[in-house]
Amino acid sequence: MKYISEYRDARLVRVVIEEITHTVTRPWVIMEICGGQTHSIMKYGLDQLLPIGLELVHGPGCPVCVTSLEMIDKSLAIAAKPDIIFTSYGDMLRVPGSTGDLFSIRASGADVRVVYSSLDAIKIAQDNPQKQVVFFAIGFETTAPANAMSVMQAQKLGLKNFSLLVSHVRVPPAMHAILGSPQNRVQGFLAAGHVCSVMGFWEYEPIAEKYQVPVVVTGFEPLDISQGILQVVRLLERGTHQVQNAYSRVVSFEGNQPAQKMINLVFEECDQKWRGIGVIPSSGWRLKPEFQFFDAAERFQVQNISPVESPLCIAGKILQGLNKPIQCPAFASQCTPEHPLGATMVSSEGACAAYYRYGRTS
Amino acid sequence: MSDPYPTMDGLVCPVPLPHNQVIVLGHGSGGRLSYDLISQVFQEAFDNPILRSGNDAGMIVVPEAPDQVGTRLAISTDSHVVMPLFFPGGDIGRLAVCGTVNDVSMLGASPRYLTAGFILEEGLEVDILRKVVNSMKQAALEAQVQIIAGDTKVVQNGKADGLYINTTGVGIIPSGINISGTAAQPGDKIIISGTLGDHGIAVLAARGELNFDAQITSDVAPLNSLVSAMLQVSSEIHVLRDPTRGGLATSLNEIAIQSKVGITIYEESIPVKPAVAAACEMLGFDPLYVANEGKLIAIVGEKHAERLLTSMQAHPFGADAAIIGTVTDSPGDHVTLKTAFGTTRMIDMLSGEMLPRIC
């Protein structure tokens, strides 16, 4: 496959890994923000190739894992109502709420459908005027533009039967939270290429400056990730903390301006609850007041659902890079993808699921 | 930031429903949920040595005799539900014949007879039924089996997706053939008869779920002539299995458990069509878990592997056959994959429903 196979070239990856090994002189801790990168690292076994002492920790960049229990419960409450078609990205169906998941709601008769984009949900709303169609608008900066676009489209089409259950999260405030924590171990970051394709990487310069950490924007293929690690290691060894772009075939400094405009048109910043982490100030987006008509939480009166998370698994610590999945006593015993105790075991991008699937069981 | 730091203490994660109370779609995915359902509900109730063997077909000896001398029959049953009923490369009728013919063939048996049970939804056009039945006729001719008994039930409109078909097949196992999921031995080679994932992706494309044009055709085909060609060149075929729902990954896990062995496969040797690989990339699927309907896994004695591979490649349904791995003596490892980078990862069963990823 053109533009993919080149970046999976084992010979090239080995050259970069050798360069990393030659460059490293002492232990370093690097966090990959994005769950997609965690999965690539596990899938290709890149961590097995790195020199001893160079540690990768897995960040909170899995939108499925960090969507709060409260939002999951709201989604279940809405999906269970009559005459609703509840649409969602596929892997949200498995995330446990307080009393069930979207699979079980569907099994008891609700119309829950997997879509690839909020724009597919618009089409479903047009085709089913007698039903209310709700889209579960979760995700980072990557999914926000299309979700904002769906609101604009629904408005333009005069769709009265379409709404969004919005639970958007943003990367930079999460990085602030991790780096500002007294327990922080992270010394350098691989920034998530897809998020940066939308937002650019101008937001990371103040973070690199404030906390004196290098940040390298990179992609998801083995060669991208290896190259990103090499650049972070070089910066760490030199004691510099700039932001570099190792994913220039996709990402520019400014990012995708029309996409950012679309986000700013429809959404405004808000404090957001992250599952396993807690509330991070200004870390979310919600619909602006002028688009409240499309707010599913309001339309279906589920604003008052606010369950308390019980302290069972250590997903929160894993998402902040303080623990590895195998350090959890429940990992791979009580907690498996079929019987997950935490969202990090549920999502295909979750760190626990990545460890489990790709065999890090001991 | 105004707030200090978010705390990590006292967080997170309620215990979800384990889905052992109510059936969800994942129970039909061929993965671990299906496996658990079979072992916890069906095997518990029906337990007997034939069922316990866990092969694609059950084996009986006629007449039943203590010394097990007699004709050995392979019997298997399979229900077919697919949306849409017609897809590139096949339809529910061809699927219903081939699926059961293949299950019977996986004991090395020569399939002879099928029965067919139809559940029809009120409102189904007879022309559609006729088209499906004609396709069954063609597939039965191709597989050289006869459909010798049948049943029809009709359910109310809205209670079924057009039509469902159950087929049961009977075949005769030639003497001297002992193929079973328990027979893999350390050192054996693993052969796959062709490219992975063609059926699963073709059906998704036919459902209009890809939102892009994909020139992918289902591989649905009767494999009994391929099996018989293989049996002619080697007596060292230990395991045969058709990796349908749950894909290659799930089938290999089942075999590793049954034979109490480990299995190592080599990523670079696994054949996948570029169009299927591209569709999987876009959707976030792994071809190792996508369904096949015209492929078989053969686990064979090392010395016969090349000979078998040549005979498979000479057959139209085995043209892309490849040796993809080895059986090891470390059962605890189950199934591992060696990547092109020289690293190793574990290959688990499909867990539940195969879900596309968010981004």
**pLDDT tens, position by position, A133-174:** 999 999 999 999 999 999 999 999 999 999 999 999 999 999
pLDDT (0 to 100) of residue B15? 37
User: Which of the 8 DSSP states describes residue A309?
Assistant: P
Question: Which of A97-111, A162-176, B39-53, B335-349: highest mean pLDDT?
Answer: A162-176
d(CA B249, CA B246): 7
Q: Does ipTM exceed 0.85? A: no
* Strands across the sheet containing A188-192: A54-61, A28-34, A188-192, A215-218, A243-245
Question: Tens digit of pLDDT for each residue in A272-323?
Answer: 998 877 889 999 999 999 999 999 999 999 988 888 765 555 666 776 667 7
d(CA B334, CA A194): 35
- The pTM of this model reads 0.86
* Stretch B52-57: mean pLDDT: 89
Of A49, A99, A140, the CB nearest to B341: A49
Where is pLDDT greater, at A99 or B134? B134
d(CA A303, CA A9): 50
Whether the predicted pLDDT of B211 surpasses 90: no
Is A279 buried (19+), middle (13-18) or exposed (0-12) by CB count in 10 A? middle
Length of chain A: 362
* Stretch B159-180: mean pLDDT: 95
d(CA B227, CA B240): 9
B19 in reach of chain A (CB within 8 A): yes
B48 in reach of chain A (CB within 8 A): no
Q: Which residues contact B174 (CB under 8 A, 6 or more apart)?
A: B108, B109, B110, B231
Q: Which residues contact B35 (CB under 8 A, 6 or more apart)?
A: B254, B349
How far away is chain A from the Cα of B279, in angstroms, using its nearest Cα? 11
Where is pLDDT greater, at B206 or B325? B325
Which of A120, A338, A356 is the best mutation test for B, with the most CBs of B within 10 A?
A: A338
pLDDT (0 to 100) of residue A341? 66
Domains in chain A, CATH or no CATH each? 1-311 (3.40.50.11740), 315-357 (no CATH)
Split at pLDDT 50, 70, 90, the class of B136 is very high
- Contact state of B355 with A94 under an 8 Å Cβ cutoff: yes
3-state secondary structure of A176: helix
Mean per-residue pLDDT of chain B: 90
* Chain A CA closest to residue B36: A338
pLDDT (0 to 100) of residue B67? 63
User: Which of the 8 DSSP states describes residue A327?
Assistant: G
pLDDT (0 to 100) of residue B245? 93
Cα dihedral A327, A332, A338, A341, rounded to 10, equals: -30
Domain ranges of chain B: 19-52, 60-173, 189-346
* Stretch B220-227: mean pLDDT: 98
First to last CA, chain A: 34
Whether the predicted pLDDT of A193 surpasses 70: yes
pLDDT (0 to 100) of residue A310? 53
Q: Which token pair is B260?
A: 């109490």
Of B16, B25, B341, the CB nearest to A340: B16
* Chain B CA closest to residue A323: B8
A210 in reach of chain B (CB within 8 A): no
Split at pLDDT 50, 70, 90, the class of A194 is very high
Residue numbers of A between 69 and 88 with CB closer than 8 Å to B: 69
CA atoms within 13 A on the CB side of A142: 20
Q: Which token pair is B209?
A: 């779920």
B60-173: CATH class: alpha beta
CATH architecture label of B189-346: Alpha-Beta Complex (3.90)
First to last CA, chain B: 29
Split at pLDDT 50, 70, 90, the class of B154 is very high
Split at pLDDT 50, 70, 90, the class of A352 is confident
pLDDT (0 to 100) of residue B3? 43
Q: Which token pair is A106?
A: 């569907």
* Stretch A17-32: mean pLDDT: 96
pLDDT (0 to 100) of residue B60? 92
* Stretch A182-211: mean pLDDT: 95
Split at pLDDT 50, 70, 90, the class of B6 is very low
Chain A neighbors of B267, CB-CB under 8 A: none
pLDDT (0 to 100) of residue B8? 36
- Contact state of A89 with B356 under an 8 Å Cβ cutoff: yes
* Chain B CA closest to residue A192: B359
B169 beta partners: B76, B114
Split at pLDDT 50, 70, 90, the class of A354 is confident
Q: Decide if B164 contacts B79 (C-beta within 8 A).
A: yes
d(CA A244, CA A222): 18
d(CA B115, CA B97): 9
User: Which amino acid is it at B283?
Assistant: L
Split at pLDDT 50, 70, 90, the class of B13 is very low
pLDDT (0 to 100) of residue B358? 60
User: Which of the 8 DSSP states describes residue A219?
Assistant: -
User: Which of the 8 DSSP states describes residue A186?
Assistant: -
Whether the predicted pLDDT of B18 surpasses 70: no
pLDDT (0 to 100) of residue A347? 62
- Contact state of B278 with A101 under an 8 Å Cβ cutoff: no
Mean per-residue pLDDT of chain A: 90
* Stretch B53-71: mean pLDDT: 81
Residue numbers of A between 7 and 36 with CB closer than 8 Å to B: 8, 10, 13-14, 36
Q: What is the largest CA-CA distance in chain B?
A: 83
Question: Tens digit of pLDDT for each residue in B234-251?
Answer: 999 999 999 999 999 999
Closest CA to B91 of B151, B138, B145, B32: B138
- Contact state of A278 with B11 under an 8 Å Cβ cutoff: yes
Residue numbers of A between 140 and 159 with CB closer than 8 Å to B: 140, 142-143
* Stretch B44-67: mean pLDDT: 86
Where is pLDDT greater, at B217 or B19? B217
Percent of chain B predicted with pLDDT > 70: 92
Q: Decide if B304 contacts B231 (C-beta within 8 A).
A: no
Where is pLDDT greater, at B143 or B1? B143
Q: Which token pair is A64?
A: 């499925």
* Stretch A321-348: mean pLDDT: 70
pLDDT (0 to 100) of residue A320? 65
3-state secondary structure of A157: helix
Whether the predicted pLDDT of B68 surpasses 70: no
pLDDT (0 to 100) of residue B10? 29
pLDDT (0 to 100) of residue A1? 63
Phi then psi for residue B48, to 5 deg, are -160, 165
* Stretch A67-81: mean pLDDT: 95
Pairing of strands B58-62, A111-114: unpaired
Percent of chain A predicted with pLDDT > 70: 91
* Stretch B113-123: mean pLDDT: 97
